[in-house]
Structures are given as structure tokens and as C-alpha cells.
Chains A and B, each alone.
Chain A
């Protein structure tokens, strides 16, 4: 019996249900078409809901899906039907906020694709093979960001001090919530 909380997948889709970045940690969807079918089902079931202020939740096909939207980005975290819903929501919140920090508040599809490397690293830092690595958005973003600043990739338009200032601003905002 598996007792450790497990994440089945994390999805970041756009407002039409297309992939921005997805990561599957379970063999429940062995082929790409199975994955796409799941994404389509999740998207169509959640599309009409308002998940912009608080994370929403739904259950279908014996999976629990928690989700949250911002602009044209749709964030999803999926777990098994016996998973603790609040743990899933914590992972979702960590992912959501970390992406917000990394995109410096400009959370939309275009910005996400332009910084896809950061998003992928972010996914890599949250969950490893289904096991939760970290849920604190600031820690996650910190781990991802420290590297990208050295590489001077898309963040280069900003100086480091600017970036830190924005990050601090986000941090305080998230603390005040």
C-alpha cells in the first residue's frame, strides 16, 4: 500500500487547452494521445469555472484535479482519488506562485513561453517522480532563478537589483495575502 502522497501530473495549459508545459509522473497515461485526451477532458470540465481567486477542485475518472487560472494560463495538479485534497492544493499553490515570481507578475502564455526554460526548471524542482520535493514558492523560484541569472538568458533585460526588488515585492504581497 502506497502511503506517501503522490502527484500524478502537473499541467500548464493555455486558454484553449493547448500545452504550455506538462509533466507526468505516473504510468496511467502511457501514450501521448492518452495524455492529450486527459488534458482535453480536464480542460473542458474546468473551462467554465472561475478559478481565479481561489483554487478550485473537481473529481473525475477517479482522479482529483485542483486548478487555478490566471490570465490565459491554466494550472492543474492531479492526484489519485484517495489523495489528501489539501496536499494537492498546496503543491498547486507552490507551482502557481513560483511561476508568478519567475514571470515577475506578467503571467500570461506569451511570457510563459518566452521563459519556458524557467517553467521547466520550476516543474523539475517541485516534484521528482511523483514525490513532492518542495512546496514553498519562494524556495522553488529561488532555486530556479539563481541559475537563470547567471546564464543571463531572458531575464537579462533586468538588472539583478531590479529582479530582486520585484521578487521582494511579490514576496511581501504573498505574505500579506
Chain B
């Protein structure tokens, strides 16, 4: 730092960290703020004090309510000064203090005076301040001035009013919507930024009126906007119009495409880029439409500005996911970006190349990447690893070099997330490419020899236990696994013991040797390790006891736990030691979807004696407790499933009612959650009269009325039906709320003695087949699918007709079946033409069901679907097809 030497103030130089605010203290500054009250104001000094106050706020200091009010009142005094600079600071200060409604009134008149001042700067700023702090009531008073300001000839004033309008539209839409004539006029303004702000506001005012937006876009795209920002907005609005009109136009040229293409030749880079990006994001974009956009992005790739290179490579990266061939032209430019100073750009370039590369270029690319990997951060490395994984799945023949690459980087330094990404990738490659299995497993074995992450070690050991025994020479893995028992912590040791047992169960030839190893583990220092060793020796017959049948052992060792761990934990906590052993079949299997919010029964505590379970219980638990506490329903058996609440009334009606369907093996219980929204009423003896004439298989057996329903405190009434056992009976029910209404005196809150009987019609309710399917996930769909076998597989194809998008079709089918999407397959990547979705669930009667849905676009909008169902019962497989066929 040579600079301080030329400064005149010598003592300042001593202090390397000199700041004019050194040693500043809130209390002292608040004291100083008293100068605002001086009869003779010193504008310069006042400005300095405000700067100090703003500095404190900016550093994260906060004022108490009292302090803020005090400062605010003092600041309002400063409106007396005519000093422009001071006034400017006053405006900023008021905005920072965000005064309360009663305080706002104090400054309103001063600000309104400034709003009509002759000084442009006063008008513009007063508008921004007032609109920031005002509420709706004041707004009507100043509306007239704001409308004038929008068409003010000074662009700063007009922009201030328009931008304030954009903010106010969120809170007071009905007022701002009245300004559309003025805003419309401002769109024609000659000032570039006024047009930008007016366009933004006008579009937000009209955004729900598709026709108006269409008209706006059509008229503006004929000319050209005055500022690049406005042009960018126009491009965004245009792509929105294209998106929304796409449904109606089946053939021919896309409307407005010419406008977007024209924008590629605009002089401002931001407009060129916005247009190029818009084109790449068009629904079902063709390669002919893409070409000009790709060309300009390619030019950006060799720009000297990092921002342009980044923007271009990021967009091309996205395009490469759906149209890899369109991007191949840029590969040469892209390869030079691998050495870009900016590592974000380099990473994006690499991953794009990995997506677009062909089989022959893989080896060359890998060489380049190896050099690159050493000097980027872990988060980027993870992106690269994921890209390599998908490349390997695309070109299975290249698995050797790619797998080598992965094992090399696995040996290098790296954090947990990075290592986990590599391990996950190797595991996926082993699963999907049979030829890669043996080398992959050996790489993993070598990795656990020197792995510092317990989690990864145990995961790999588990995986080895499943895959290792199926290889040609399982014995070579034993050494690696048994080494863990010597060298690692207790968690890993226990995992290794389980893995050894799996080898013993699967490979008879290894059994005697495994027993020797397991017996050694009986002397481990850790309980869990010893327990596991004892258990496995027992089940495998290593201690000479009676051996269980092989299938049972395998089921025990390899079967997956189809119960969510949270549910198991809760059930175990609720279990009271008694003669009756704990039965795992009574643990609810429903995956917890949403926490129970308002549906909790008030005052109905479960009768359990033990300590209440910590944390919120799952919905199923709460329902189960609630239902079992009602004697009428106690003998219905185990609750199979509870649906999500279905609204039976419109929002904001007198009585809000929703219903939850509880499915039992031979019964169905409807739980009506009622809320009384009228303060002047008390409802008593509330019941729901259900007409089940359209649900032939159901017969009403019990109903539990709600004795009293006061204002705003929800209550439940129940109706129970009997239905044929184990059968997914469906039907439609119409509902009528019946009750005795009593007037309540609002002043005393007391209800009158006499009530009147009344009825209230609710919407119909349906029990559908999806109500009989539980959302139960499986951890590994492929394994589950294969172990289920094709015995009861049913496959058929369906045409789903025209749909808005593939994603919409996928979601519709998922909702229809009410099953659990596995492995994130419910997400459809944009612009894809086909998609596979995996679902799992449990059908009533505890029958596991797996579904594989393959969707494809057939023609421009028609979606076709291939549905494959596997289950443990052919009737169930057929039933799933019936749901889809009738859906």
C-alpha cells in the first residue's frame, strides 16, 4: 500500500484499518441525532449523523422500537430544511426505518407536498418513499398524483411512479389496475427506461388476461423497444405467449418465431442472449429453429468477457441434455474452455462435452479431464463425476476407461460428498453394466481398505454382500471384508460381519470358512458385533443347531424392510412390555407425507400410559389412535389406509367441511372435519347424513355425532360403513350436514336455550380403487422388480389422448393409481419425448404391487403409455389395469 504516504494526515497512517466510523457506538449516535431538533439546522452535520445511523443499520445493528420511533420523529423535523442533499438522505432514512402506520401519518403531508413540488428530484423520491411506507387507505388519497406522475414528462418521476406501481400491485391490485390508461400511455414514452418500467407494470396488470397479453405482444413486436431491458421483457412475454398458444397450433410455423430470431441480430448482448435462450427453451423446438440461436451462442463462447462465456456455455449445457447433436458444432470452442480461468465455465464446458461427445472422442476427453480434475473444487468435481456416469451408461463399451478414471479419482484426496458421488456412480455402473461388475467391485474393495468415511464403508460392505456372492469367484472378496473386522470401528465391523454372513448363505463352498471367521468375531469388544456374529452363526447353522430352511435365511438376510423406519421407531416406543410379543406386522406402512396440522383432535388425548412419543407423530399414527379411542370402531381391526383430506365445501362458506376416508379390511370410516365460521352461531348435535344408494356394496353400521361445534374450533363427526372383506369396493356417496343451530350473543358469548334444526348440503364423495393402495416405497426398484418375478405380470398399452405435456400425463397416472413414485422418476425432464416412471405400493390384503410406466409422445400431443404391473397376485395385477382402463 503506497497510497497512505501521499495523504496529508499522518496520524491516520498509523492505523492500517482506518475508517471514519472507527469506534462508532449506537448510543452515542442516537445522542448525536438530537441535532435534528435544533432550531437552527446545520444541514451538513445532520447529513453526517444520518450517514452514521445508516452505517449502523447497514452493519447489521438494529434499533429497538423506542429508538426507531425516536429517530423517526427527529428525522421528520428535517423536512424544514431546504437543503437538497439533506432531504435526499432523509428519504433514504425513512425507507430504512419502515415506520408503523400511525407514524406514517406524521410524514404524509410533508411527502405529499414534495410529491407536488416543482423540483423533479423531490417528486420522484417522495413518490418512492410514500409508496414504500403507505397502506391502502392512504393510497386512494394520493392516487390522483400517482396517475399524473406516470405520464410526467420527467423520466425519473415517471419511472419512480411506475416502479412503485409494480410494488403496490402486490398489495393493492384493485387500485393499481385503475391506472392502466396512464401506464399504456407511458409504454409509448420516448425515455428508454420509462418504457421498460411501463411495460413491466402493464404486463403484470394484465397477466391473467391472455388475450390482452397477446395483443400487447403483437403490437410491440412489430416495432422495437427503446431499451435493451424492455426488449428483454418483450422476449420473455413473447415466449410466454408462444408457450400458451402452442396447444392450439398443430402445424405450420410457430408464431412470433421470426421476432425471436430477429432479436438475435440486436446490437445489445443482453437482448441477443435473451432471445437465444428463449429459442432453446421453446417447447418441442426443432433443429432448424435451434440453429441460429446456437450460432450466436457459439460466438459468445470465444468472447473475452467471462459473463458471456458463462451464459453461453450454461445455455448450451441445457440444450445438450435434449438436443446433443445440435451442440456438437460448438465442441471445438467448448474444448478450449476446459482450461478457462473461471472454473464454473470450465466445468460447464466439460459436462457439456461429456453429453455431446461420441464414442470415439471419449478417450481423448478423459485425458483432458484428468489434468483438469486436480485444480477444481469438490462441488465441481461432483458435477463432472455425474456427467461421466451418464456417459458411461450411454457408451457401455467404454466402461473400462471410465471405470478406471473413477477409481483413480476415488484414490485421490476429497471430501465426503465427492467420494460419495464417485461411489454411487460406480455402484450404478456395476448394476447396469454386467461386464463392469467384477472390476467395479474390486475398485470398491480397494477403496474400503483405506476409507475414512464410516458411512461409505458400511454402504459398500452392504453392496458387496448382495453382489459379491453372485460373481464367478466370490472368495477373493472375503479378505477385504474380513480385514475390516480387524481394522475398523464398531459400526464398520458390524457391517462386515453381516456381509460375511451373506456370503455364507449364498455360497455353500465358502460356508465352513465363513463360520471360522464369524466365530472369531464372537470375541469382539463391541456388543453389536458379537450379537450379529452369534445371530448369523445361529441362522446359518454354524453352531450345529437345527438349520432353518434356506429360503427363510435368505429372506432374512436379503429381504428389504418394507416399513418406514420412523414408523417402526414409533411403534417400538409405544410398545409396552407384556406377554404379547411385538408384532412387526402391526407397524403402519404408509409413508409419512405431511405432518398433521389442524386435524388433531382437540382434547382427545390417546389413552396410552407411557411417555408421549417425542416429535410429531405421523398422520397414520394419529388417525389410528383417534379411531381406536372410539368404541364403535374399536373392533374394525387394523387401519389400512387414511386418505388425504378431501374438501366437501367451497372455501369461505359458512361451514367448512373436509373428509378423510379411513379404509379397514371390512369397513370404511368417513371422518368429517367440520369448522363453524360464524361467530354468532353454536352448532349442536352435528351429524352427516350419508346417502349410499350409489354405493351398493356399502352398508352404514354406525355414526358418531359431534355434540357441539362452537365458532372456529374444529370438530369431527364420523360415519362407518361395512363392506365386503378384502374387496376394493367403490362407490359414490352424497352428504348432508344436519345440526341444531343456536344463536350466540356476541357480547357475552352465551348461546340461547332453544335451537333450530337445519341442514347444509355438502359435495359428493367417492371411494375409488386408489384408496385401497398404500404408498409404500422400495429402496431398489430394479431388485424388487426382478425378485417379484414375471409370474403375475400384466402388460398392456393405452392411449392417453392429447395432453398438455408429458409431465402432466405422468402426474395424472400417478394420482390415479395413488402409488409411490420411486427413484425420482416422477420428474420428467423438459422437452423429453419419452419417459419411464416407476411406482410401488401395497394393495389391500397386503399385496405388494410394482408398476413400470413407459410414456411416449405419439404425434404432436398424443401420449401413449405402456403399463407393466407385477404383483404377488394376478387379480391385483388385473385390478391395477382396470383402474387405468376406467380412469
Contact = CB atoms under 8 A, between A and B. Distances in A.
Contact of A19 (B3, B58, B92, B95): B58
A108 B20 CA distance: 13
A45 to B, nearest CB: 8
B240 A57 contact: no
B305 interface: yes
B427 interface: no
Contacts of B54: 116-117, 120
A59 B305 CA distance: 16
B342 A49 contact: yes
A132 interface: yes
Interface stretch (A81-89, A96-104, A166-174): A81-89
A133 to B, nearest CB: 6
A32 B59 CA distance: 9
Contacts of B160: 128
A139 to B, nearest CB: 9
B233 interface: yes
A4 interface: yes
A150 B84 contact: yes
Contacts of A84: 232, 270, 273-274, 277, 311
Interface string B144-183: 0000000000001001100110110000000000000000
Given A85-B311, A87-B232, A153 B270 contact: no
B92 A124 contact: yes
A58 to B, nearest CB: 5
B232 A5 contact: yes
Interface residues of A, number: 53
B881 interface: no
Nearest to A51: B306
Given A151-B44, A151-B84, A128 B269 contact: no
Contacts of A1: 240
B344 interface: yes
Contact of A147 (B88, B193, B307, B341): B88
Contacts of A113: 19-21
Interface residues of B, number: 66
Interface in B308-356: 308, 310-311, 314, 341-342, 344
Contacts of B43: 151
Given A5-B229, A57-B307, A58-B344, A150 B270 contact: no
B83 A128 contact: no
B799 to A, nearest CB: 31
B344 A59 contact: yes
Interface in B2-24: 3, 18-21
Residue among A50, A85, A89, A108 with the most chain B CB within 10 A? Answer: A85
A70 interface: no
Given A114-B20, A120-B54, A124-B92, A131 B200 contact: yes
Q: Which of B54, B197, B310 has the most CB of A within 10 A?
A: B310
Given A19-B59, A87-B229, A56 B306 contact: yes
Contacts of B159: 133-134
A106 B744 CA distance: 74
B86 interface: yes
Interface in A13-70: 19, 21-22, 32, 35-36, 49-50, 54-60, 66
A50 B340 CA distance: 12
With a 10 A CB-CB cut-off, give which of B44, B92, B95, B311 has the most chain A CB atoms: B311
Contacts of B631: none
A32 B58 CA distance: 10
Contact of A57 (B3, B273, B306): B306
A150 B84 CA distance: 7
A3 B342 CA distance: 29
A5 to B, nearest CB: 7
B237 interface: yes
Contacts of B342: 49, 56-58
A56 B308 CA distance: 10
A90 B197 CA distance: 17
Contacts of A55: 305-307
B581 interface: no
B220 to A, nearest CB: 14
Interface in B35-72: 43-44, 47-48, 50-51, 54-55, 58-60, 62
Contacts of B62: 32
A124 B88 CA distance: 10
Contacts of B55: 116
A110 B18 contact: yes
A43 B212 CA distance: 45
B568 interface: no
B121 interface: yes
B156 to A, nearest CB: 7
Given A133-B163, A150-B84, A151-B43, A3 B51 contact: no
B306 A90 contact: no
Interface in A119-144: 120-121, 124, 128-129, 131-135, 143
Contacts of B704: none
A50 B121 contact: no
Nearest to B7: A110
B84 A87 contact: no
B197 to A, nearest CB: 7
A152 interface: yes
A86 B307 contact: yes
B273 A128 contact: no
Contacts of B83: 150-151
A126 B491 CA distance: 57
Counting chain B CB atoms within 10 Å of each CB, the highest count among A3, A66, A134 belongs to A3
Contacts of B314: 59, 85
A6 to B, nearest CB: 10
Contact of A143 (B19, B156, B344): B156
Given A3-B203, A66-B307, A120-B51, A86 B60 contact: no
Contacts of A129: 132, 163, 166-167
Contact of B47 (A4, A66, A151): A151
Contacts of A21: 58
Contacts of A151: 43-44, 47, 83-86
Contacts of B19: 109-110, 113
Of B85, B305, B341, which is in contact with the most chain A CB atoms at under 10 Å from its CB?
B85
A54 B306 contact: yes
B273 A86 contact: yes
Contacts of A66: 307
B32 to A, nearest CB: 15
B780 interface: no
B625 interface: no
A89 B167 contact: no
Interface in B551-569: none
Contacts of B389: none
A3 B379 CA distance: 30
Nearest to B93: A120
Contacts of A22: 58
A104 B59 CA distance: 25
Interface of A: 1, 3-5, 19, 21-22, 32, 35-36, 49-50, 54-60, 66, 84-90, 108-110, 113-114, 116-117, 120-121, 124, 128-129, 131-135, 143, 146-153
Given A128-B167, A131-B197, 10 more contacts: A49-B341, A54-B304, A55-B307, A84-B232, A113-B21, A143-B156, A147-B85, A147-B88, A149-B85, A153-B85
26 contacts: A4-B204, A35-B60, A36-B60, A54-B304, A55-B307, A56-B307, A57-B344, A59-B344, A66-B307, A85-B273, A85-B311, A85-B314, A86-B269, A87-B229, A87-B232, A87-B270, A89-B307, A109-B19, A116-B54, A117-B50, A121-B88, A128-B164, A148-B85, A151-B83, A151-B86, A152-B85
By Cβ-Cβ distance, the 6 closest A-B pairs, closest first, are: A151-B85, A86-B270, A32-B60, A85-B311, A147-B85, A89-B307
